[in-house]
């Protein structure tokens, strides 16, 4: 039961000018596709083959002998989640319960934005910035390489990829400019759905 590379939930040019068609084609069709292919190759014929990818990620997260498999599994999952964390004509501020929860847990939307930008900008090397539900509290967190919040019992609500391949074609070494651009297309509806389902 292979894990399939999902199509982007929008057209390749739909996030322009914030994220270019060129970036999405390389990022989705090359990088994401490679993680999916390597994951499927590694689990084929094993007892992990029939398990949902989230279960595999949690099961092998602390097994150093399975680090290669973990990296490809988590990166396959992270990227799928990342595509849904953006959408055309989005950005702005959340509404409803998510807005209230951000206000309550961070003090204000502006304080959340500051924390999220800082997490993305200060993640040394490759990794991810996340908005998560930890117990009953919203938090901003960052993870290195392929690591995601599923492995620490947190519920991801949305994520921003800060590997260089996410932004280098558009922003070169200006990661803060990419972070600003991401916030112009962040999909608050997706984050709100994840909060409601938690």
**Domain 96-197 is in which class?**
alpha beta
Give strand pairing partners of 129.
Answer: 142, 160
What are the residue boundaries of the structural domains of the chain, listed by start? 21-84, 96-197
Q: Which residues are annotated as a binding site for Mn(2+)?
A: 27, 79, 161, 165
Query: What architecture is domain 21-84?
Result: Orthogonal Bundle (1.10)
Percent of the chain clearing pLDDT 90 (strictly above)? 96
Q: What is the pLDDT of residues 16-43, one digit of tens each?
A: 999 999 999 999 999 999 999 999 999 9
Kind and range of the H or E run holding 86:
none
* Residue 135 φ/ψ, nearest 5 degrees: 70, -115
> Any residues with CB less than 8 A from the CB of 76 and at least 6 apart, and which?
3, 32, 35, 36, 39, 53
Is it the case that residue 1 has pLDDT exceeding 80? no
Q: What is the pLDDT of residues 163-179, one digit of tens each?
A: 999 999 999 999 999 99
Q: Which residues are annotated as a binding site?
A: 27, 79, 161, 165
CA distance 58 to 36: 17
Q: What is the pLDDT of residues 75-97, one digit of tens each?
A: 999 999 999 999 999 999 999 99
Mapping DSSP to helix (H, G, I), strand (E, B) and coil, where does residue 138 land? strand
CA distance 154 to 35: 23
């Amino acid at each position: 039961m292979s894990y399939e590379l999902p199509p982007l939930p929008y057209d390749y040019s739909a996030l322009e000018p914030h994220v270019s068609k060129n970036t999405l084609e390389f990022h989705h069709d090359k990088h994401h596709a490679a993680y999916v292919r390597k994951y499927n190759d590694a689990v084929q014929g094993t007892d992990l083959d029939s398990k949902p990818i989230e279960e595999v990620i949690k099961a092998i997260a602390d097994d150093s002998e399975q680090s290669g498999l973990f990296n490809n599994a988590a990166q396959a999952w992270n990227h799928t989640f990342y595509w849904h964390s953006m959408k055309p004509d989005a950005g702005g501020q959340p509404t409803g319960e998510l807005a209230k929860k951000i206000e309550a847990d961070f003090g204000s939307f502006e304080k959340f934005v500051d924390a999220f930008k800082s997490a993305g900008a200060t993640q040394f090397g490759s990794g991810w910035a996340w908005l998560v539900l930890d117990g009953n509290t919203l938090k901003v967190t960052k993870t290195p390489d392929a690591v995601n919040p599923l492995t620490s019992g947190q519920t991801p609500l949305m994520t921003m990829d800060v590997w260089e391949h996410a932004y280098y074609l558009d922003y070169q070494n200006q990661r803060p400019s990419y972070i600003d651009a991401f916030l112009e297309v962040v999909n608050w509806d997706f984050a709100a759905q994840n909060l409601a389902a938690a």
